[in-house]
Amino acid sequence: METRAPFAVIGGFVLAAIVAIFGFVYWLNNTGGLGPRTTYHVQFEGSVPGLLVGAAVLFNGIRVGEVTDLGLAPDNPRQVNATISVASTTPVRADTKVGLEFQGLTGVPVIALEGGSSTAASGPVSTLIAEQGAGQSMTQAARDALRRVDAVLAENAGPLKDTIANLKTFSDGLARNAGKLDGIVSGLEKMTGGGAPAQKVTYDLTAPRDLGPSNKTIQGQLAIPEPTAVAMLQTQRILFSPAKDYPGFGDILWADSIPKLVQARLIDTFENYDVAHAPLRASDLGQPDAQLLIDVRRFRINTDPSTVVEIGLSARLVDKSGKVVASRLFDENQPLGRLDPADAVAAFDQAFGRVAKSILTWTVQAL
């Protein structure tokens, strides 16, 4: 007996130590652990899915205690009572909000305490009332929302069916009258100035051909750069003085801007006279022997006091060194009996033909 007694004592001591350790761990996790603790009762209206004894209690996101007891209210089947143990230093007030949060991927529920007025009484609080629906998870909230939507649809099934039928009738009516609707829309576009823009008609000048025999050839290489002009003349529209909109002229254009058109037709005029020595554009040459510099001064229809086409050009002949060899103003007018686009273009052709011939003769003689 004496040899067995120490083993029995040792075994009993080990069992007692194990029980003490388990008891300490249970007390630490379920009754608040170390430090002074305060116990509060919490009432939930509705279910608290997954909440267990030992679940964490958070205050503003910080763990301050644990759930120590859970139970159903015997006098109210919808109510759940919980007991929590939190650190005594936790500023729990009578108006502290109580809710249930689900944390992590598995959605572990914890009791969440939040806020409270700093002016509220800080004495013992007997019971904390959780907010309505505090224990409702996101899944349950989605189910409840779908249930309410389903109830609304069920209550309004008749009106919804009638609305869909009316929409079908309306769409069928639109399909039957598609042609009429296109006509109405087209009429509205015309009334409001919309729709596709009107097609523009372009007109060109004609270089004179009846220039007589070329008794004198053009000496050296001549270049005609693009004429200069004020900004108003840098356009393809037919200009009027005084400026005004005239019927029929809004949809017609010159084939190019006025300076470029004058340059092109002057070069054509020189080619019709002596194609072998005709001038080129300045960009086509390295260093020409002479340049004919043109400035467009007028290229318009003057309606005051009588209707007449006016073309005014100034010309300067410059040698290779940049010295002005000769200069002259060229002005031509052509009366216009009827203010019509075709007649106006014909009058411009006649006036430009005389100007082009004069410039050709003057240039050949000056060279």
C-alpha closest to that of 294 among 323, 254, 345, 328: 328
- pLDDT value of position 188: 73
The 10 Å Cβ neighbour count of residue 228 is 13
For strand 62-72 and strand 290-302, is the pairing parallel, antiparallel, or unpaired? unpaired
Task: Please report where in the chains the tokens 């992590």 appear, as a residue.
Answer: 104
Pick the CATH number of 34-137 from 3.40.50.1110, 2.40.30.110, 3.40.190.10, 3.40.50.300: 2.40.30.110
The CA distances from residue 55 to 31, 83, 185, 220, in Å, are: 11, 11, 70, 106
How far apart CA 226 and CA 261 sit, in angstroms, is 9
pLDDT digits (tens, 9 = 90+) for 76-126: 888 888 888 888 888 888 888 888 887 766 678 888 888 777 655 555 677
pLDDT digits (tens, 9 = 90+) for 201-235: 899 999 988 877 767 778 888 899 999 999 999 99
Q: Where are the domains of the chain?
A: 34-137, 201-366
- One-letter amino acid at 161 equals K
Q: Would you give the DSSP letter of residue 218?
A: P
User: CATH number of the domain at 201-366, please?
Assistant: 3.40.50.10610
pLDDT-based confidence at 1, cuts 50/70/90? very low
| Threshold 0.85, pTM exceeds | no
C-alpha closest to that of 311 among 266, 365, 366: 266
User: Which residues have a Cβ under 8 Å from the Cβ of 65 and sit 6 or more positions away?
Assistant: 32, 37, 56, 57, 84, 85, 86, 87, 90
Are residues 276 and 217 in contact, defined by beta-carbon separation less than 8 angstroms?
yes
How far apart CA 117 and CA 92 sit, in angstroms, is 9
Same fold? 34-137, 201-366: no
